[in-house]
């Protein structure tokens, strides 16, 4: 297999190409492992697509597609769907003009130095950080809407099963402490850092992208402080304003889109 050429990118920016690639992989590859989706898994899929339709800050054609997929799903009353039927709506451009999700993946900020590094899991983290920020910007009514959708999607469908288990444990432990849209942003940030901490140095780590407590001081100097005893402390207010601007739709770069 010939490798794709490396796409130069800015390490301190978010790319729409990664978000669309994550959507493609999730909706066309990960879900395709199921012939039939029903019960709790179907509820999880419904909430996931509904959150995407509501908050994905994408190109108009992609948002239209997510909306048409969402209305199709909400109209299903049989208690189960076949993946084949879902895929028809996903790929159908005739039914909803100006609605399409590009085929294939084009990783940019989520490229790895080897094909088994980064990519889809990186895209999913990025996607959910963006969605928590979008829900806050647009004033979503339920602070847990995005995180619950993520929790249930990961639990039912995410291919990395031990990742799903770890994430479910973190959600069980502390998701109930999230009362505001801002604390939802902060919860995801801090749990992502816990994962970074746990798996730093593991074989799954891309040597060109070491796991760090993020954002590093170069990216956000004011996020970092030192307590009287000399220990590192986050300045949560600064972290929140950093996240809100870093993952804002206006900061997302559109390089390398089809
Ligand atoms: P990622 O951790 O994927 O992060 C992507 C990008 O997000 C980074 O490049 C950076 O720009 C930014 N970022 C980094 N940290 C933060 C933060 N705290 N807040 C906001 N943005 C940040 N792998 C395991 O080996 N074990 C696990 O238990 C595990 N659990 C996972 C659970 C979930 C829900 C997901 C989506 C993935 C999980 N993974 C796990 C995969 C792992 O976390 C990484 O996604 C993967 O190793 C690729 O790492 P990466 O270098 O691309 O950075």
Q: Which of 33-47, 93-107, 125-139, 230-244 has the lowest mean pLDDT?
A: 93-107
Average pLDDT taken over every residue of the chain: 96
Q: Is residue 222 in some structural domain?
A: yes
- What ipTM was estimated for this complex? 0.99
Query: Which of 201, 203, 192, 132 lies closest to 163 in space, CA to CA?
Result: 192
In a domain, 46, yes or no: yes
pLDDT at residue 109, as a whole number:
98
- Please state, in angstroms and rounded to a whole number, the distance separating the CA atoms of residues 114 and 38: 36
Which pLDDT tens digit goes with each residue over 158-199?
999 999 999 999 999 999 999 999 999 999 999 999 999 999
The average pLDDT across 67-75 equals 96
Residue nearest to atom 5 of ligand 1 (CA): 122
CA dist 160 and 174 (Å) reads 22
Q: Which residues contact 24 (CB under 8 A, 6 or more apart)?
A: 101, 102, 103, 104, 105
CA distance 248 to 241: 11
Asked whether residue 258 carries a pLDDT value surpassing 90, the answer given is no
- Residue 10 belongs to some domain of the structure: no
Range of the domain at 36: 16-251
Ligand 1 pocket member 157 (CB < 6 A): no
Å from CA of 28 to ligand 1 middle: 21
Q: Which two tokens stand for residue 147?
A: 């995180």
What is the average per-residue pLDDT within 9-20? 98
Please, which pLDDT band fits residue 84 given cuts at 50, 70 and 90? Answer: very high
124-164 pLDDT, tens digit per residue, is: 999 999 999 999 999 888 999 999 999 999 999 999 999 99
Give Cα separations from 71 to 30, 47, 96, 111 (angstroms).
Answer: 21, 12, 11, 33
* Within-domain flag for 127: yes
User: Does the pTM exceed 0.90?
Assistant: yes
CATH of the domain at 53: 1.20.120.310
Residue 196 within any structural domain of the chain: yes
The pLDDT value recorded for residue 93 is 66
Q: Is 166 within a domain?
A: yes
pLDDT at position 92 is 79
**Cβ-based neighbour number of residue 197 at 10 Å:** 11
Residue 195 Cα, ligand 1 centroid: separation in angstroms? 7
- Short-list 225, 197, 224, CA closest to 212: 197
Per-residue confidence (pLDDT) for residue 20, from 0 to 100 = 98
The reported pLDDT for the residue numbered 119 is: 97
**Interior CA angle at 37 toward 35 and 38, to 5°?**
140
Residue 114 lies in a domain: yes
Number of domains composing the chain: 1
Does residue 119 have its Cβ closer than 6 Å to ligand 1? no
Report yes or no on 1 lying in a domain.
no
Q: Name the residue with the closest Cα to ligand 1, atom 33.
A: 163
């Amino acid at each position: 297999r010939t490798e794709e050429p490396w796409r130069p990118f800015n390490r301190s920016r978010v790319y729409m190409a990664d978000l669309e690639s994550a959507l493609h992989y999730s909706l066309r590859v990960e879900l395709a492992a199921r012939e039939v989706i029903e019960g709790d898994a179907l509820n999880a899929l419904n909430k996931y697509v509904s959150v995407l339709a509501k908050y994905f800050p994408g190109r108009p054609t992609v948002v239209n597609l997510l909306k048409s997929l969402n209305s199709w799903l909400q109209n299903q009353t049989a208690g189960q769907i076949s993946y084949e039927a879902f895929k028809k709506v996903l790929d159908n451009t005739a039914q909803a003009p100006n609605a399409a999700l590009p085929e294939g993946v084009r990783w940019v900020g989520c490229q790895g130095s080897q094909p088994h590094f980064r990519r889809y899991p990186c895209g999913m983290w990025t996607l959910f950080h963006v969605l928590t920020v979008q829900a806050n910007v647009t004033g979503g009514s339920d602070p847990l809407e995005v995180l619950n959708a993520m929790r249930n999607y990961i639990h039912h469908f995410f291919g990395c099963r031990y990742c799903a288990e770890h994430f479910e444990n973190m959600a069980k432990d502390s998701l109930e402490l999230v009362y505001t849209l801002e604390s939802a942003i902060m919860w995801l940030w801090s749990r992502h850092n816990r994962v970074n901490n746990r798996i730093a140095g593991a074989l799954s780590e891309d040597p060109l992208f070491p796991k760090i407590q993020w954002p590093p001081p170069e990216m956000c100097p004011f996020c970092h402080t030192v307590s009287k005893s000399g220990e590192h402390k986050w300045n949560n207010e600064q972290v929140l304003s950093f996240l809100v601007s870093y993952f804002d739709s206006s900061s997302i770069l559109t390089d390398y889109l089809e």
